[in-house]
Homo-oligomer: A and B are copies of this chain.
Amino acid sequence: MESKPSDVERQVFQGSDEVTTGLDRRHTWATTIRSKLDELIKNSIIGFADGLTVPFALTAGLSSIGSSRIVILGGLAELFSGAISMGLGAYLASVTERKHYDVEREKKHRDVEKCPEVEEARIYDIFSHYGTGPERARSIVESLQANRGLYVKFMMDFELKLERPNRRFAFLAALAMGLSYLLGGLIPMIPYFATPLPKALYISIGVAVVTLLIFGYVKAVVTGTTQRDACWSAVQTLLIGAAAAAVSYGIVRGVNSAEPGEL
């Protein structure tokens, strides 16, 4: 039942493979760079969003005590401990993920060696989700069985869907997260350095609102949604900041007035 190879197939793997292989390689590169860039952007977004909400909410809460000094001290302490915890935390998380990957790969190696029928059935199961029966998937299984390393790689990618984080890239991604946190947190804190309370709180709220809206909008544009979704995303981001700041303000004010005199 050998049918004629399709045009693309002949192009890619037989005659004039140079052009298409070049194109493929470029595509693979582009995909890799794009996914790395996506991850960096994602990390920066997470860091910036957290920075924009937590230090802002904390300083807004502390401002109810009425001392700029306390606000600035608390804000700076939170800014740096948050950035360090987030950046270092993200880096160490990917180190752990890497270890986890290696443990699972070892396990998969043993499985492929000791229970080949189970693994084979799993491959048929994977392909069955895409409407491909065993009679069509068998050629893939056969070619995988010819190379243990590629077999395990296939199962890691398609069955377990695990990725092994690159150590250097993980460092870069963690740095992007930590710095974005610092930047995002610093912006709504600036008014407290420049103006006395309670004016500084109002300006800080204004600055946070504008920054959150712009950020929410840019985030939506970067992730490729429509204009309407972009506005909704901005409002959503604003809501997180507002909710956190309101709760923080309420708790500090409540606790502060409930047990007076000890300060």
Contact = CB atoms under 8 A, between A and B. Distances in A.
A131 B147 contact: yes
A107 to B, nearest CB: 9
B86 A252 contact: no
Given A92-B240, A139-B139, A150-B130, A70 B72 contact: no
A84 B263 contact: no
A140 interface: yes
A100 interface: yes
Given A77-B62, A251-B76, A127 B103 contact: no
B78 A54 contact: yes
Contacts of A139: 132, 135-137, 139
Interface stretch (A115-123, A164-172, A200-208): A115-123
A150 B131 contact: yes
A227 interface: no
A82 interface: yes
A198 interface: no
Main secondary structure of the interface of A (DSSP, over half): helix
Contact of A9 (B81, B138, B157, B247): B138
A89 to B, nearest CB: 6
B124 A144 contact: no
Contact of A89 (B49, B96, B133): B49
A143 interface: yes
Nearest to A87: B240
Contacts of A82: 54, 244
B85 A247 contact: no
A195 interface: no
Interface in A63-102: 65, 67-70, 72-74, 76-78, 80-82, 84-86, 88-89, 92-93, 95-96, 99-100
A52 to B, nearest CB: 9
A156 to B, nearest CB: 11
Contacts of A137: 139-140
Contact of A144 (B23, B131, B151): B131
A44 interface: no
Contacts of A129: 150, 153
B61 A81 contact: yes
A99 B230 CA distance: 11
11 contacts: A5-B135, A8-B117, A9-B120, A13-B134, A53-B84, A54-B85, A57-B77, A69-B262, A84-B240, A85-B241, A96-B223
